[in-house]
Structure 1
Amino acid sequence: MRYFILGFFMSLCTFSGVVKAQEIAILKYNGGGDWYSNPTALPNLISFCNQQINTKIDAKHQTVEVGSVDIFQYPFIHMTGHGNVFFNEDEAKNLRTYLLSGGFLHIDDNYGMFKYAEKEIKKVFPAKDLTEIPADHPIFNQKFKFPNGLPKIHEHDGKRPQALGIFHEGRLVLLFTIESDLGDGWEDTAVHNDPEEVRLKALRMGSNIVQYVFEN
């Protein structure tokens, strides 16, 4: 289980309560991108995780802003969208502190956000580069096995799916999934009419990410 000990945050505990052990929040960002896209995705993933890997995640997930101290209450933050992303200096610093202190960010490109988000990640980690995560990484080998790495859920440009990461002291702190669109696969069946086996692949991969974060 992942716990945070944040010097300045501990002074807030009297008011904010204990850091939540198993909770997920959606990241709200500026720039005009639709951070709120895929509204049924996270509730469905949470339900699947609670059933399949025995998590106890609150289905009523919260929304947190990049620059808010509230992000420190959540061990797992999910970010998605199609368009522009922008972090100001304070937001980038806040997100960096969160990630280096034990937090985890999953960015799932809902198609079209990669070129924008990649630039903002450089503000968060100027000295680090996104690197491809190999198929033998533990994130692909939790309860569900993905011997070929990240599954392809939606075609988009027809390129191969990639799981890119930022590591700090050997720990994966940021996962950026592109050309896969896991979030679309998590949505209600009626939204995209994906075959059940495709949705199941997406949900299983999502639960692997959650399990990896909560158990490491």
Structure 2
Amino acid sequence: MSFGSKFTFMRFSYHSGDWDTDQRMPSNLLNSLLEYTTIPFDPHEKVIPLGSNDIFSYPFAYISGHKLVQFDTQERTNFKKYVQNGGFVFADDCNHDIDGLFAKSFEAQMTAIFGPAALKKIPNGHKIYHSFFSFDKGPPTTSFELNGWGDDLVHDYLKAIEINGRIAVLYSNKDYGCEWDYDYRNKRFLAEDNTKFGVNIIMYALNS
């Protein structure tokens, strides 16, 4: 794939389920790129159907939802081709529930595409936790986990599918999308900017 010079936050839409979650989150993360990095970026999120060949113009993709994930044949083909050709997908479960519909169906899709052993826990010392900011304890906890939302668990790991030694699909049950779904101008009211790990994810995607 040939990628452009500006980073674009690209979101996959897909035929099943509800893909249009956490709609303020992308602009919040892009604001964080502006605050902390010198990366040139498109200030607007781009939504592209997973079944479209247009996805291959962008190195980073986000996919999320609450409901069923059931890719059609073209979506499945494109997903596999995208990551095998250098694309990075950040998949986030909005339910924060390992037994929820999104988690079970998305993991089933990954098994169908890449095999049952492809999606694995990544160690908390992985370089994605040090790609820009340092998270020595692994993935930062979300308020949803601390408040008992979803499965009432604090997930102390993320999962990933690796291709040629790099994370190609990063998978979270932590509901980062909803955690970061607020107007970026309200960030000043937080004791600590909780979008910093989002910067790490993007920096890893662009440099791995």
Q: Same fold (TM over 0.5)?
A: yes
Indicate which of 176, 180, 193 corresponds to 1:182: 176
Matched, 1:109 2:109: no
Residue 120 (1) aligns with residue 109 (2): yes
Matched, 1:23 2:8: yes
Q: Which amino acid aligns with 2:152?
A: G
Partner of 1:8: none
Is it true that 1:173 corresponds to 2:175 in the alignment?
no
In structure 1, the partner of 2:152 is 158
What amino acid is aligned across from residue 196 of structure 2 in structure 1? Answer: R
2-side partners of 1:142 and 1:48: how far apart?
Answer: 15
TM-score (norm: length of structure 1): 0.83
* Secondary structure of residue in 1 paired with 2:158: strand
Shift of 1:189: 5.8
Contact preservation (8 Å) 1:152, 1:181: no
Answer yes or no: is 1:65 the counterpart of 2:49.
yes
Contact 2:133–2:196 at 8 Å: present in 1 too? yes
List per-residue Cα deviations over 1:62-104 (Å, max 9, x = no partner): 1111111011011000011111111122221111111000001
Q: Quick check: 2:24–2:183 contact (8 Å CA) kept in 1?
A: no
Q: Which residue of 2 aligns with 1:15?
A: none
Q: How does 1:1-216 map to 2 (within 5 A)?
A: 4=1, 19-21=3-5, 22-31=7-16, 33-111=17-95, 112=100, 113-126=102-115, 128-153=117-142, 154-155=144-145, 156=149, 157-161=151-155, 162-178=157-173, 180-188=174-182, 196-197=190-191, 200-201=193-194, 203-216=195-208
Contact 1:166–1:175 (CA<8 Å) still a contact in 2? yes
The residue number in structure 2 matching 1:9 is none
Contact 1:26 1:79 (8 Å CA) reproduced: yes
Q: How many residues align?
A: 194
Structure 2 CA distance for aligned equivalents of residues 67 and 117 of structure 1: 16
CA distance in 1 between counterparts of 2:116 and 2:14 reads: 22
Counterparts of 2:30 and 2:107, CA distance in 1: 27
Could you tell me which amino acid in structure 2 is paired with residue 139 of structure 1? I
Offset, 1:128 = 4.2
Unaligned runs of 5+ in 1: 6-18
Distance 2:117 2:74 in 1: 19
The CA deviation at 1:160 is: 2.3
CA contact (8 A) 1:41 1:188 kept: yes
- Percent of matched pairs sharing the same residue: 27
Q: How far apart are the structure 2 equivalents of 1:53 and 1:41?
A: 18
Asked whether the 8 Å contact 1:128–1:166 carries over to 2, the reply is no
Separation in 1, partners of 2:132, 2:80: 29
Deviation at 1:123, TM superposition (A): 2.5
- Give the Cα–Cα distance (whole angstroms) in 1 for the partners of residues 37 and 73 of structure 2: 37
TM-score (norm 2): 0.86
RMSD: 2.1
SS of the residue corresponding to residue 176 of structure 1 reads strand
The answer to whether the 8 A contact 1:131-1:166 is kept is: yes
**Which one-letter code corresponds to 2:48 in the other structure?**
V
Aligned to 1:107, the other structure's residue is in SS state strand
Q: Which runs of 5+ in 2 are unaligned?
A: none
